[in-house]
Amino acid sequence: IGPDVIDIRKLYAQTGMFTYDPGFLSTASCQSAITYIDGDKGELLYRGYPIEQLATNCDFMETCHLLLYGELPDGKQKNDFTKLVTNHTMVNEQMQFFLRGFRRDAHPMAIMTGLVGALSAFYHDSTDINNPQHREIAAIRLIAKMPTLVAMAYKYTIGQPYMYPKNELSYAGNFLHMMFATPCEEYKVSPVLERALDRIFTLHADHEQNASTSTVRLCGSSGTNPFAAIAAGVACLWGPAHGGANEAALNMLGDIQKMGGVAKVGEFMEKVKDKNSGVKLMGFGHRVYKNYDPRAKLMQETCKEVLAELGLENDPLFKLAMALEKIALEDDYFVSRKLYPNVDFYSGIVQRAIGIPVPLFTAVFALARTVGWIAQLNEMIGDPEYKIGRPRQLFTGAVRRDVQPLDKR
């Protein structure tokens, strides 16, 4: 804590005072050296490196190494790390039976919350969160197994056999294989789509103390099993105000398309601005960014590349998204509130073009964010001064009263 920042712990110890800050609008919940956001500039750094440079010059495995260990790997470290992750891509066969308990039409995030939580029942040599070796192997297992679990959840919902990982493929390539190959047919991984997916993973890898990361920290602060703490993060991410926004944004674009497409954009925007309508422009706005989310810019570029590769340059939903953005960036409602597209505004269009079904979008986000969750969890537990998270409250209920006998109530 710097000299110009009040140490609230000391203040509390000296005065018994505490702060009231619903939604943590201005309260830091921890110290962290992992991810830095300057919301006014629209800047995002992982361990000091700008997201634009990482997304352009590095792949997701390098980004994972950076987030977990603090430094980008050299060639040998990258190979060793990738091999280590690759060695853990399979999940215990028992997981298939666990999956069978779900309805086939269950939401993939409902399935993922269960599957990730269930991992805590399997790996007894990586469940002690206070043991650094356990934490490290849990991190590798989680990063390695998330693509397998997401693909299994998908295959289960469409009734197809699960595809085992192919370890000669890249992290993103392997995910595409497990998603789209069948025992009857190979899936030829397109380098452009593989690179786009890898970029989606990098852009979503961490984002400091967002709701799901804070959930993981709070959950892990009790010393719980690390897989259980990450399952809590998956559950939190599901909400439409957080990771669920990519699915919500694409559904919103689909609805406007059904209403009449670009011609109806103005009418839709009037609804968004009417506070009584309850309609929000999904994929817009952010608690920290009061400028363009740098990830949204990169995602828009990726979107153009992917659509060009697939010959879908005239994709109506992409056109709609661009039209909405153009109006919003010139409209006083959005300008005065500093509302810009966030990462979810374009990521859904890219995922859909790759062939990922809409209900799976947030699960793909969870897959990518897992490294951030576990890096933040390990940073917290590795700090000798960490304490169990235990927010205070301002009590607004009844003051003391006496229980009356049943016949007198």
* Cβ contacts of 269 within 8 Å, gap of 6 or more: 281, 324, 327, 328, 331
Asked if 386 contacts 135 with a C-beta cutoff of 8 angstroms, the reply is no
Q: Which stretch binds ligand ACO (CB under 6 A): 110-118, 181-189, 280-288, 356-364?
A: 280-288
290 binds ligand ACO (CB under 6 A): no
Are the C-beta atoms of residues 208 and 34 closer than 8 Å to each other? Answer: yes
Query: Which is nearest to 328 in space by CA: 343, 342, 339?
Result: 339
**Which of residues 226, 233, 243, 294 is near ligand ACO by CB under 6 A?**
243
Query: Residue 292 CB, nearest distance to ligand ACO (Å)?
Result: 13
d(CA 339, CA 294): 13
Options 117, 165, 226, 285; binder of ligand ACO; rule CB under 6 A: 285
The catalytic residue among 344, 383, 402, 407 is: 344
Q: Which is catalytic among the residues 286, 293, 315, 402?
A: 286
Binding residue (CB under 6 A) for ligand ACO from 111, 152, 272, 298: 272
Nearest residue to 35 via CA among 373, 297, 302: 373
Residue nearest to ligand ACO (CB): 285
Bridge partner list, 361: none
- Taking the complex as a whole, the smallest distance from the CB of residue 299 to ligand ACO amounts, in Å, to 11
Residue among 36 and 187 whose Cβ is closer to ligand ACO = 36
Binding test (CB under 6 A) with ligand ACO, winner from 115, 151, 253, 282: 282
Upper half-sphere CA count for residue 156 (Cβ side, 13 Å)? 26
* 344 labelled catalytic: yes
Choose among 157, 155, 148, 156: nearest CA to 182.
Answer: 155
Estimate to the nearest angstrom the gap between the alpha carbon of 344 and the chain centroid. Answer: 10
For ligand ACO, the closer of residues 88 and 273 by Cβ is 273
Sheet holding 49-50, edge to edge: 35-38, 43-46, 49-50
Give the interface segment with ligand ACO, choosing from 3-11, 110-118, 164-172, 237-245 (CB under 6 A): 237-245
Residue 210 beta carbon to ligand ACO: minimum distance, rounded to whole angstroms: 6
> What's the min distance (Å) between Cβ of 283 and ligand ACO?
5
Q: Would you count residue 280 as binding ligand ACO (CB under 6 A)?
A: yes
Report how far residue 287's alpha carbon sits from residue 338's, in angstroms, rounded to the nearest whole number.
Answer: 10
Active site residue 65: no
**Positions in 292-351 near ligand ACO (CB under 6 A):** 337, 339, 342-344
Q: How near is the Cβ of 53 to ligand ACO at its closest, in Å?
A: 21
Residue 151 is classified by DSSP as: H
Tell me the C-alpha to C-alpha distance, in Å, between residue 382 and each of 130, 133, 134.
Answer: 8, 11, 12
- Give me the active site residues, please: 286, 344
Can you give the binding site for ligand ACO, defined by CB under 6 A? 241-243, 245, 272, 280-287, 337, 339, 342-344
